[in-house]
Amino acid sequence: MRSWHPASLFEARTQKLEVLRIPGRIQQEAQLHSKVSGVHLLLLKIGHQVISTWDQCLSNGRRNMSSLPLIERAREDGFTFVMSASAVAEEQLYQIATTAPAPRIPQRDLQPGEQYRFHFDMTQCIGCKCCVVACNEQNGNPANINWRRVGEIEGGFYPNTQRLHISMGCNHCLEPSCLIGCPVEAYKKDPVTGIVQHNPETCIGCQYCTWNCSYGVPQYNAERGVVGKCDMCYGRLTDGREPACVNACPEGAIRIEIVNIEQWRREYAENANAPGLPSADDSISTTRITLPEHMPPDTRKADAWRVKPEHPHWPLVIMTVLTQLSVGAFAAIWLLQLRGASEKLSIAALGSLMVGGLALGASTMHLGRPIHAYRALKMWKRSWLSREVLMFGAFSSMAGAYAGSLLLRLPLSSALGGLTALLGAGGITASACIYLVRARPAWNSKHTIADFFLTGAILGPLFAANIGVGSGRLLLVLSVGAGSVQLLNNALRFLRLNASDSFERQSTARLLSTVLASRFLIRGALLMAGGIALPLLFPTRLGLAAAFASALAGEVLGRYLFYVSVVPKNIAASYIASGVEVAA
């Protein structure tokens, strides 16, 4: 009896094999399929007599074979299959034709208007994650950072269901959102190959690119303090070698192709989209995906049920709330000055300036490499993060000049106050626009801009009122009005998230109503108490202090919920969470 033999197991590839079975029930027929190095090994019909045992084979001078795990396991189960050299060469059951493997990378140079891209064949992927391991080994990444990931999608209806796999690295998009948002120009799209490259030496670890990418490709490495991503193994590819993931795939499911850029702009919608992936419209992904001919109905992410809170980013919570407080306080001081007030204006301005300075100092704690924070000014023409740094830097300078003019009673102080308020408003606008990105649908709304401005309108007047500036009544009216609008803004935002057709928006509402429900309710209670009830019912010094403390706590908690409740777009993950995900 003969079988297909895996060439990788034996040096003598023409050696015929014979299957011998030693068990208890020798009258049965058995069929066993195994897959080794892409070649099928088939053990066919077992004979009706016992030929030899493993030990007898050795003692009779048969071919000495190394111990294989599957064989050892079979012996433990009571059924031992032995492969040995065939003593009689009668007829050949099957012969494998030796053919040269198809190349997995292009065999010609790029022409003008072309670039490299990945091709992923979903019909070939078996979910073995060899590509993930190879990528990590090639780039020296820890187990919790994967520049190439394998996810699962499932669909159909019982009993006709199916699960498929997705392998995804960087898509080297035509309009890469990671590059567009970077404030230090750490990204570039190679003009020859089209590969989107990241320079870790330039990166400051702001993580803005991780928010911008709909596929979750850039990943932050806390130990290094920088972001990293797939670069299609640029060095290997330009040397004519396959990228690590392409080389490691046992099924040839990942390949490198050449694509005509203008032609792809017309065709990407049909060839770059797949269930379990964000829309390719966000950045025009160049990865071509081959789907099964008959995709199961209702196919979706296998991990759609698993939604968890994101990182809170405490330095950003403190920075955004305090900068908005400072801007609101300076705006309130300027309005009081225009109404003729002069008492304690300089003290309030100096206090607001200190709060703003504390906020800007806290912002650097978010960076992986805070010593290089100055680089964030570089891309002010393109990046909202650079514009935020520029506007708040100008605001701080003008606020210092305004506070000094109030202290010295200079005649142009009111003009300086107007410029201070204007620059502060520009800073809040830039700060809010950072979060208006497609990859974070719950952030990408007008409610975000309203939330940021209303935080300043609530806290600024209360801060000035506690110092004892001018007419306390006007300040309380401003604060109560802003608090009421903020309460309405939060309620409308939650209702719209819950009613949305977007999976990510619905999931944000689900987090706020389940895992984060108690904190969401406390935030609302603090807002009603500090922003509305206490200023109206207890306009005393003690009541104003309690109102400011409650309102500040409410806005800090609200900003915390803003960061942790957002559900980002991303590729499908595994149905069962990895050990790293469980620990997180």
Token pair 């197991």 in the structure block, residue:
9
pLDDT tens column, 523-574: 999 999 999 999 999 989 999 999 999 999 999 999 999 999 999 999 999 8
pLDDT tens column, 285-301: 999 999 999 888 889 99
Chain mean position to CA 566: 12
Examine the pLDDT at 94 and tell me if it is beyond 70.
no
Helix (H) or strand (E) holding 32: strand 32-36
pTM tops 0.75 = yes
459: domain CATH number is: 1.20.1630.10
Q: What is the pLDDT of residue 456?
A: 97
What SS3 class is residue 198? strand
94 occurs within a structural domain? no
DSSP string, 249-273: -TT--EEEEEEEHHHHHHHHHHHS-
Q: What is the pLDDT of residue 6?
A: 37
Q: What is the pLDDT of residue 342?
A: 80
Alpha-carbon gap, residue 91 to 287, rounded angstroms? 47
287: domain CATH number is: 3.30.70.20
- In angstroms, the Cα distances linking 272 to 73, 263, 342 are 44, 13, 63
Together in a domain, 297 and 324: no
307 occurs within a structural domain? no
Together in a domain, 427 and 318: yes
Together in a domain, 343 and 199: no
Q: Give the count of alpha carbons within 13 A of 107, CB side only.
A: 3
For residues 73 and 411, the model is more confident at 411
Tally of structural domains, the chain: 3
571 occurs within a structural domain? no
Q: What is the pLDDT of residue 576?
A: 83
Together in a domain, 147 and 234: yes
- In angstroms, the Cα distances linking 308 to 206, 515, 557 are 22, 8, 18
Together in a domain, 529 and 473: yes
**Using CA atoms in the order 322, 327, 333, 336, what is the torsion angle rounded to 10 degrees?**
-130
Examine the pLDDT at 19 and tell me if it is beyond 90.
no
Give the end of a domain, one of 243, 268, 301.
301
Q: What is the pLDDT of residue 96?
A: 57
104 occurs within a structural domain? no
Start-end of H helices in 339-445: 345-363, 384-408, 413-433
Question: Range of 495's domain?
Answer: 314-564
Chain mean position to CA 269: 22
Retrieve residue 455's tokens: 């935080």
Together in a domain, 283 and 356: no
Alpha-carbon gap, residue 380 to 398, rounded angstroms? 19
Alpha-carbon gap, residue 256 to 120, rounded angstroms? 9
Alpha-carbon gap, residue 147 to 139, rounded angstroms? 9
Q: What is the pLDDT of residue 56?
A: 40
Together in a domain, 329 and 211: no
Token pair 């403390």 in the structure block, residue:
549
The pLDDT > 70 percentage for the chain reads: 81
* Average pLDDT along the chain: 85
DSSP string, 147-184: SSEEEEEEEEETTEEEEEEEEE-----SS-HHHHH-SS
Measured between its terminal Cα atoms, the distance across the chain in Å is 54
578 occurs within a structural domain? no
Together in a domain, 185 and 46: no
Residue 368 neighbours by CB under 8 Å, 6+ apart: 203, 204, 205, 206, 207, 220, 222, 224, 225, 226, 227
pLDDT tens column, 364-398: 999 999 999 999 999 999 999 999 999 999 999 99
Q: Which of 257, 304, 389 is nearest to 571 (CA)?
A: 304
234 occurs within a structural domain? yes
Together in a domain, 404 and 457: yes
Per the CB < 8 A criterion, the answer to whether 410 and 374 are in contact is no
Alpha-carbon gap, residue 442 to 458, rounded angstroms? 23
How confident is the model over 475-501, as a mean pLDDT?
A: 96
Q: What is the pLDDT of residue 76?
A: 55
Alpha-carbon gap, residue 287 to 271, rounded angstroms? 8
Cα Rg of the chain (Å, integer):
32
Examine the pLDDT at 246 and tell me if it is beyond 90.
yes
253 occurs within a structural domain? yes
Together in a domain, 333 and 428: yes
Alpha-carbon gap, residue 89 to 69, rounded angstroms? 28
Alpha-carbon gap, residue 167 to 148, rounded angstroms? 7
Q: Give the length of the chain.
A: 584
Together in a domain, 236 and 344: no
Q: What is the pLDDT of residue 63?
A: 38
Together in a domain, 284 and 178: yes
69 occurs within a structural domain? yes
pLDDT tens column, 175-227: 999 999 999 999 999 999 999 999 999 999 999 999 999 999 999 999 999 99
pLDDT tens column, 417-458: 999 999 999 999 999 999 999 999 999 999 999 999 999 999
Retrieve residue 527's tokens: 């807002």
Confidence of residue 59 (pLDDT cuts 50, 70, 90): very low
For residue 278, with 0-12 CB atoms within 10 Å meaning exposed, 13-18 middle and 19 or more buried, which class applies? buried
